[in-house]
Amino acid sequence: MNNNTIFDDVFRTMIEKIPQLAIPLINEVFQTSYPEDVEIIQLRNEHHQENGEIITDSCLRIGRKLYHIECQSVDDTTMAIRMIEYDFAIALDSARKYGRRYRIPTVKLDEYTKDKIFEKNLLMFLPFYIMRYEKEIHRINQDPEKLQSLLDEYEDIRVMLEKELTETGRAELYTNLT
Protein backbone atom coordinates (compact mmCIF):
# COMPACT_ATOMS: atom_id res chain seq x y z
CA MET A 1 0.00 0.00 0.00
CA ASN A 2 1.20 3.46 -0.82
CA ASN A 3 1.54 5.38 2.45
CA ASN A 4 -0.27 8.37 0.94
CA THR A 5 -3.40 6.30 0.36
CA ILE A 6 -3.41 4.11 3.47
CA PHE A 7 -6.35 6.04 4.97
CA ASP A 8 -8.31 5.61 1.72
CA ASP A 9 -7.38 1.94 1.48
CA VAL A 10 -8.36 1.15 5.08
CA PHE A 11 -11.57 3.15 4.77
CA ARG A 12 -12.63 1.49 1.51
CA THR A 13 -11.86 -1.95 2.93
CA MET A 14 -13.95 -1.32 6.03
CA ILE A 15 -16.86 0.04 3.97
CA GLU A 16 -16.67 -2.97 1.68
CA LYS A 17 -16.20 -5.67 4.34
CA ILE A 18 -18.10 -4.22 7.34
CA PRO A 19 -20.54 -1.64 5.92
CA GLN A 20 -22.63 -1.55 9.11
CA LEU A 21 -19.76 0.41 10.71
CA ALA A 22 -20.71 3.32 8.45
CA ILE A 23 -24.15 3.71 10.06
CA PRO A 24 -22.98 5.44 13.28
CA LEU A 25 -20.70 7.63 11.14
CA ILE A 26 -23.56 8.61 8.83
CA ASN A 27 -25.78 9.27 11.85
CA GLU A 28 -23.07 11.48 13.36
CA VAL A 29 -22.22 13.47 10.24
CA PHE A 30 -25.66 13.81 8.69
CA GLN A 31 -27.65 13.98 11.95
CA THR A 32 -29.76 10.94 11.02
CA SER A 33 -30.86 8.10 13.27
CA TYR A 34 -30.61 4.94 11.20
CA PRO A 35 -30.61 1.66 13.14
CA GLU A 36 -27.43 -0.41 12.74
CA ASP A 37 -29.29 -3.10 10.78
CA VAL A 38 -30.66 -0.71 8.13
CA GLU A 39 -30.20 -1.96 4.57
CA ILE A 40 -27.14 -0.42 2.93
CA ILE A 41 -26.60 -0.64 -0.79
CA GLN A 42 -23.03 -0.04 -1.88
CA LEU A 43 -22.90 1.74 -5.19
CA ARG A 44 -19.96 1.67 -7.53
CA ASN A 45 -17.22 4.11 -6.72
CA GLU A 46 -15.87 4.68 -10.22
CA HIS A 47 -17.29 7.36 -12.46
CA HIS A 48 -15.96 8.03 -15.94
CA GLN A 49 -15.63 11.56 -17.19
CA GLU A 50 -14.14 13.03 -20.35
CA ASN A 51 -10.94 14.01 -18.55
CA GLY A 52 -10.54 10.69 -16.74
CA GLU A 53 -11.91 8.40 -14.09
CA ILE A 54 -12.98 9.63 -10.66
CA ILE A 55 -12.84 7.19 -7.77
CA THR A 56 -14.72 7.94 -4.57
CA ASP A 57 -14.06 6.30 -1.20
CA SER A 58 -17.67 5.26 -0.83
CA CYS A 59 -21.10 5.87 -2.17
CA LEU A 60 -23.87 4.26 -0.15
CA ARG A 61 -27.62 4.23 -0.59
CA ILE A 62 -29.85 4.00 2.45
CA GLY A 63 -33.48 4.14 1.48
CA ARG A 64 -33.77 6.92 -1.09
CA LYS A 65 -30.70 8.84 0.07
CA LEU A 66 -27.19 8.64 -1.29
CA TYR A 67 -24.25 9.15 1.04
CA HIS A 68 -20.82 9.95 -0.32
CA ILE A 69 -18.10 9.64 2.32
CA GLU A 70 -14.42 10.36 1.81
CA CYS A 71 -11.53 9.72 4.18
CA GLN A 72 -8.46 11.90 4.09
CA SER A 73 -5.39 12.13 6.30
CA VAL A 74 -4.24 15.63 5.41
CA ASP A 75 -6.02 18.97 5.37
CA ASP A 76 -6.47 19.41 1.65
CA THR A 77 -8.01 22.70 0.58
CA THR A 78 -9.29 21.12 -2.65
CA MET A 79 -11.28 18.34 -0.94
CA ALA A 80 -14.63 20.18 -0.99
CA ILE A 81 -14.22 20.94 -4.70
CA ARG A 82 -13.33 17.34 -5.49
CA MET A 83 -16.28 16.07 -3.48
CA ILE A 84 -18.60 18.35 -5.45
CA GLU A 85 -17.10 16.93 -8.65
CA TYR A 86 -17.59 13.38 -7.35
CA ASP A 87 -21.13 14.17 -6.22
CA PHE A 88 -21.95 15.68 -9.58
CA ALA A 89 -20.70 12.49 -11.28
CA ILE A 90 -22.75 10.40 -8.85
CA ALA A 91 -25.84 12.53 -9.51
CA LEU A 92 -25.39 12.19 -13.26
CA ASP A 93 -24.92 8.44 -12.93
CA SER A 94 -28.05 8.04 -10.84
CA ALA A 95 -30.01 10.44 -13.09
CA ARG A 96 -31.81 11.94 -10.13
CA LYS A 97 -32.11 15.50 -8.91
CA TYR A 98 -31.57 16.06 -5.23
CA GLY A 99 -31.84 19.84 -5.23
CA ARG A 100 -29.60 22.69 -6.18
CA ARG A 101 -27.64 23.18 -2.95
CA TYR A 102 -24.68 21.11 -1.84
CA ARG A 103 -24.16 20.50 1.83
CA ILE A 104 -20.89 18.79 2.61
CA PRO A 105 -20.56 18.05 6.31
CA THR A 106 -17.10 17.14 7.49
CA VAL A 107 -15.71 15.38 10.53
CA LYS A 108 -12.26 16.04 11.95
CA LEU A 109 -11.08 12.81 13.48
CA ASP A 110 -8.57 14.49 15.75
CA GLU A 111 -11.52 16.02 17.60
CA TYR A 112 -12.70 12.57 18.70
CA THR A 113 -11.24 10.94 21.79
CA LYS A 114 -11.30 7.18 22.06
CA ASP A 115 -14.01 7.53 24.71
CA LYS A 116 -16.16 9.64 22.36
CA ILE A 117 -15.61 7.08 19.59
CA PHE A 118 -16.98 4.33 21.82
CA GLU A 119 -19.74 6.53 23.26
CA LYS A 120 -21.06 7.32 19.78
CA ASN A 121 -20.35 3.80 18.49
CA LEU A 122 -18.11 5.23 15.76
CA LEU A 123 -15.96 2.10 15.72
CA MET A 124 -15.05 2.82 12.11
CA PHE A 125 -12.81 5.60 13.48
CA LEU A 126 -10.61 3.25 15.54
CA PRO A 127 -8.01 2.41 12.86
CA PHE A 128 -7.67 6.11 12.07
CA TYR A 129 -7.43 7.01 15.74
CA ILE A 130 -4.49 4.63 15.96
CA MET A 131 -2.93 5.96 12.75
CA ARG A 132 -2.85 9.50 14.14
CA TYR A 133 0.50 8.59 15.69
CA GLU A 134 2.19 7.60 12.44
CA LYS A 135 4.05 10.91 12.06
CA GLU A 136 5.42 10.64 15.59
CA ILE A 137 6.28 6.94 15.58
CA HIS A 138 10.03 7.43 15.16
CA ARG A 139 10.16 9.78 18.16
CA ILE A 140 7.85 7.52 20.17
CA ASN A 141 10.03 4.47 19.47
CA GLN A 142 13.04 6.30 20.88
CA ASP A 143 11.30 7.26 24.12
CA PRO A 144 10.42 4.24 26.30
CA GLU A 145 7.86 6.22 28.33
CA LYS A 146 6.03 7.46 25.23
CA LEU A 147 6.14 4.00 23.69
CA GLN A 148 4.69 2.43 26.82
CA SER A 149 2.00 5.11 26.95
CA LEU A 150 1.05 4.34 23.35
CA LEU A 151 1.00 0.60 24.01
CA ASP A 152 -1.16 1.18 27.10
CA GLU A 153 -3.58 3.23 25.02
CA TYR A 154 -3.76 0.48 22.37
CA GLU A 155 -4.45 -2.09 25.09
CA ASP A 156 -7.16 0.15 26.54
CA ILE A 157 -8.79 0.37 23.10
CA ARG A 158 -8.57 -3.41 22.67
CA VAL A 159 -10.20 -4.00 26.06
CA MET A 160 -12.93 -1.43 25.39
CA LEU A 161 -13.61 -2.92 21.96
CA GLU A 162 -13.71 -6.47 23.26
CA LYS A 163 -16.06 -5.47 26.08
CA GLU A 164 -18.34 -3.44 23.82
CA LEU A 165 -18.69 -6.08 21.13
CA THR A 166 -18.80 -9.26 23.20
CA GLU A 167 -21.40 -7.81 25.58
CA THR A 168 -23.61 -6.90 22.64
CA GLY A 169 -23.19 -10.27 20.91
CA ARG A 170 -21.05 -8.91 18.09
CA ALA A 171 -17.93 -11.00 18.64
CA GLU A 172 -17.48 -11.51 14.89
CA LEU A 173 -17.29 -7.75 14.42
CA TYR A 174 -14.59 -7.63 17.13
CA THR A 175 -12.58 -10.22 15.22
CA ASN A 176 -12.96 -8.29 11.96
CA LEU A 177 -11.97 -4.98 13.51
CA THR A 178 -8.92 -6.33 15.29
Shared-domain flag, residues 126 and 156: yes
| Per-residue pLDDT, 105 | 73
| Predicted confidence (pLDDT) per residue in 50-108, tens digit | 566 556 668 888 998 888 888 777 777 887 787 777 777 777 666 544 454 465 677 88
Is 106 within the bounds of a domain? no
Lowest-pLDDT range of 3-7, 33-37, 59-63, 112-116:
3-7
Q: Which range of residues forms the domain containing residue 76?
A: 3-94
Q: Which of 45, 68, 94 is the last residue of a domain?
A: 94
Q: Is the pTM of this model over 0.75?
A: no
| Predicted confidence (pLDDT) per residue in 139-159, tens digit | 999 999 999 999 999 999 999
**pLDDT category, 117, cuts 50, 70, 90?**
very high
Shared-domain flag, residues 144 and 72: no
Shared-domain flag, residues 89 and 7: yes
- Reduced 3-state DSSP string for the chain: CCHHHHHHHHHHHHHHHCHHHHHHHHHHHHCCCCCCCCCCEECCCEEEECCEEEECCEEEEECCEEEEECCCCCCCCCHHHHHHHHHHHHHHHHCCCCCCCCCCCCCCHHHCCHHHHHHCCCHHHHHHHHHCCHHHHHHHHCCHHHHHHHHHHHHHHHHHHHHHHHHCCCHHHHHHHC
Q: Which of 94, 126, 145 is the last residue of a domain?
A: 94
Is 104 within the bounds of a domain? no
| Per-residue pLDDT, 98 | 45
